[in-house]
């Protein structure tokens, strides 16, 4: 995958099959050059198109997601940071323009999704064929890319990690965000009662998704959640981490699951890339041990991290089914050309929008 900022032309790999009209031509990409302001460190560049190596394909990107991971990378607070300069971009939807030697199950023209974690913010991406998922022809590219990382994350946390049944109450932190809006829609569709935290300006949006909004800055939040759901909630989905994990644990019903899926808690300096995650790791280990000693009333804590593979592809296909049925309506906060990547990252930094920002290279 061409994740580092592309350099001079690479030699064409023998045996690669390219699409006629798409063969040749320049690549355009976004680079992240260091930590600091997006206006300074998120810049546009041009270079040669990648060539498909063995087991790989080249994809002409139609849409690439802007995610909180890029905000963390810009602050050097991401747990798995690439080294600068690199091409950011967690996920993409596009069409294969070239198939490398050894690839037998994909063809030029196939519409696909990928989650390379970085490298998607460019017009042409070289990526391993075996990690691709299929995207239906009729799907809008921006909507389809909102399902890739955010949708699969929401689906798997709800259906593969938490043990929830219709009628249960759950707490979704950040119900106004890219993951949170989809998680709320999926949970409501599953017959769950959703208490969704967000800043007050976004409460109408959260209510429109079918959840009961709550300000995450509310003093004594666990007591307020207990008033709303006296027996506790069956699951909490927490991307903030830190000491707030103790509040999330405290509102769980017996037998409930705390799903910790990031540590975006404020207060760390750029470069302290692993420290925000230590509180979550400690608590997960401690509660795992306590659970096995029978000390948690059946409650458990689980850390979740999305990864490609068969489950990912199956779950993405299930999400496309719900999209086609009108059950899911991914919120698209903004559609931007590549040269507006800094604008999109700034919007996520400010927390000023609802849903997913998407680049259309």
Binding site for ligand NAP (CB under 6 A): 67-69, 149-150, 153, 173-174, 176-180, 197-199, 202, 216, 239-240, 261-262, 264, 304-306, 348, 351
Q: What angle do CA 287, 246, 263 make, to 5 degrees?
A: 90
* Alpha carbon separation from 307 to 46, 148, 169, 292 (Å, rounded): 30, 11, 27, 27
- Shortest Å, Cβ 47 to ligand NAP: 28
Contacts of 279 (CB under 8 A, 6+ apart): 241, 242, 243, 245, 263, 265
Give whichever of 123 and 239 is closer to ligand NAP, judged by the CB atom.
Answer: 239
Give whichever of 30 and 348 is closer to ligand NAP, judged by the CB atom.
Answer: 348
DSSP labels, 143-194? HHHHIIIIIHHHHHIIIIIS---TT-EEEETTTTSHHHHHHHHHHHHTT-EE
Give the nearest residue (CB) to ligand NAP.
Answer: 177
20 in helix, strand or coil? coil
Instruction: Please answer whether residues 114 and 132 qualify as being in contact, where contact means their C-beta atoms are separated by less than 8 angstroms.
Output: yes
- Shortest Å, Cβ 58 to ligand NAP: 26
Give whichever of 282 and 292 is closer to ligand NAP, judged by the CB atom.
Answer: 282
Best CA proximity match to 299, nearest among 317, 310, 286: 286
Give whichever of 18 and 64 is closer to ligand NAP, judged by the CB atom.
Answer: 64
- Shortest Å, Cβ 286 to ligand NAP: 20
Give whichever of 28 and 71 is closer to ligand NAP, judged by the CB atom.
Answer: 71
- Shortest Å, Cβ 345 to ligand NAP: 11
Instruction: Please answer whether residues 317 and 304 qualify as being in contact, where contact means their C-beta atoms are separated by less than 8 angstroms.
Output: no
- Shortest Å, Cβ 354 to ligand NAP: 7
Give whichever of 33 and 199 is closer to ligand NAP, judged by the CB atom.
Answer: 199
Rounded to the nearest 5°, which phi and psi values hold at 67?
Answer: -130, 170
Stated as kind and residue range, the H or E segment containing 74 is helix 68-74
- Shortest Å, Cβ 52 to ligand NAP: 28
115 in helix, strand or coil? coil
- Shortest Å, Cβ 39 to ligand NAP: 19
End-to-end Cα spacing for the chain? 17
Given 3-state DSSP classes, what are the helix, strand and coil percentages for the chain, each rounded to the nearest 5?
Answer: 30, 25, 40
Question: Which residue is it, tokens 């199956």?
Answer: 314
* Preceding amide of 85 cis, omega within 30: yes
- Shortest Å, Cβ 321 to ligand NAP: 21
Q: What angle do CA 213, 178, 309 make, to 5 degrees?
A: 130
Give whichever of 52 and 113 is closer to ligand NAP, judged by the CB atom.
Answer: 113
Give whichever of 183 and 323 is closer to ligand NAP, judged by the CB atom.
Answer: 183
- Shortest Å, Cβ 288 to ligand NAP: 18
Give whichever of 100 and 174 is closer to ligand NAP, judged by the CB atom.
Answer: 174
């Amino acid at each position: 995958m061409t994740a580092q900022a592309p350099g001079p032309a690479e030699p064409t790999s023998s045996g690669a099959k390219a699409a006629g009209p798409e063969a040749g031509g320049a690549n355009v990409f976004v680079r992240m050059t260091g930590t600091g302001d997006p206006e300074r460190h998120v810049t546009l560049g041009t270079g040669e198109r990648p060539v498909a190596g063995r087991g790989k394909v080249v994809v002409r990107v139609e849409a690439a997601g802007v995610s909180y991971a890029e905000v963390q990378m810009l602050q050097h607070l991401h747990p798995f940071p690439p080294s600068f300069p690199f091409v950011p971009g967690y996920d993409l939807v596009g069409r294969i323009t070239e198939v490398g030697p050894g690839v037998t199950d994909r063809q030029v023209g196939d519409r696909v999704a990928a989650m390379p974690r970085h490298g998607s913010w460019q017009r042409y991406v070289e990526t391993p064929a075996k990690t691709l998922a299929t995207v239906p022809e009729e799907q809008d590219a921006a909507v389809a890319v909102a399902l890739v990382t955010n949708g699969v994350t929401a689906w798997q946390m709800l259906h593969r990690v938490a043990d929830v049944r219709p009628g249960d109450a759950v707490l979704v932190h950040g119900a106004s965000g890219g993951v949170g809006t989809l998680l709320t829609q999926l949970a409501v569709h599953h017959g769950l009662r959703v208490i969704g935290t967000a800043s007050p300006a976004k409460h109408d949006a959260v209510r429109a998704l079918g959840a009961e909004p709550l300000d995450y800055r509310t003093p004594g939040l666990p007591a307020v959640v207990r008033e709303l759901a006296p027996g506790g909630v069956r699951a909490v989905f927490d991307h903030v981490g830190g000491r707030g994990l103790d509040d999330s644990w405290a509102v769980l019903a017996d037998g409930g699951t705390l799903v910790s899926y990031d540590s975006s808690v404020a207060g760390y300096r750029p470069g302290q890339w692993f420290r925000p995650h230590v509180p979550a790791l400690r608590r997960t280990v401690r509660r795992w041990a306590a659970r096995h000693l029978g000390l948690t009333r059946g409650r458990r804590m689980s850390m979740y991290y999305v990864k490609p593979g068969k489950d990912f592809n199956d779950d993405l296909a299930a999400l496309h089914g719900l999209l086609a049925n009108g059950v899911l309506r991914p919120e698209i906060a903004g559609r931007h050309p590549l040269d507006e990547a800094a604008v999109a990252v700034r919007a996520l930094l400010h927390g000023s929008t609802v849903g997913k920002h998407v680049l259309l290279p």
